[in-house]
Amino acid sequence: MTKSPAPLRRPAVARTLKALDRTIAGFRRKHETVALVPTMGALHAGHLALVRRARRAADRVVVSIFVNPAQFAPSEDFASYPRRLAADVAALAEVRADLVWAPDAKVMYPAGFATRVAPEGPALAGLEDKYRPHFFGGVATVVAKLFGQVRPDIAVFGQKDYQQLKVVTRLAADLDLRVKIIGLPTVREKDGLALSSRNLYLSPEERGRAPVLHRVLAECADRIAAGRPIKATLESGAKALARAGFVLDYLEARHAETLAPVRSVKDGPIRLLVAARLGTTRLIDNLAV
Known catalytic residue at 134:
no
Separation of alpha carbons 141 and 119, rounded Å: 9
Determine if residue 160 is labeled as part of a ligand binding site: yes
- Strand-strand pairing, 180-184 and 247-255: unpaired
**Is 158 within any annotated ligand binding site?**
yes
Nearest partner of 213 among 227, 202, 224, judged by Cα: 202
Confirm whether residue 86 is marked as ligand binding: no
Backbone φ and ψ for 79, nearest 5 degrees, come out as -65, -35
195 marked as binding residue: yes
Check the annotation: does 108 bind a ligand. Answer: no
135-150 and 17-29 helices, crossing angle to 10°: 50
44 is in an annotated binding site: yes
Cβ atoms of 254 and 128 within 8 Å: the answer is no
198 is in an annotated binding site: yes
**217 known member of a binding site:** no
Report the C-alpha gap between 231 and 245 in whole angstroms: 22
Task: Name the active-site residue from 47, 134, 214, 255.
Answer: 47
The rounded radius of gyration (Å) of the Cα atoms in the chain is 20
Angle (CA) 169 172 176, round 5°: 145
45 assigned ligand-binding residue:
yes
Closest Cα partner for 247 from 201, 217, 271, 280? 280
On whether 196 is known to bind a ligand per the annotation, the reply is: yes
Q: Is 288 annotated as a binding residue?
A: no
> Is residue 55 within 8 Å of 47, Cβ to Cβ?
no
Q: Strands 154-158 and 180-184, how do they pair?
A: parallel
Residues comprising the binding site for (R)-pantoate?
71, 164
Residues comprising the binding site for beta-alanine?
71
Catalytic machinery residues:
47
Residues comprising the binding site?
40-47, 71, 158-161, 164, 187, 195-198
Residues comprising the binding site for ATP?
40-47, 158-161, 187, 195-198
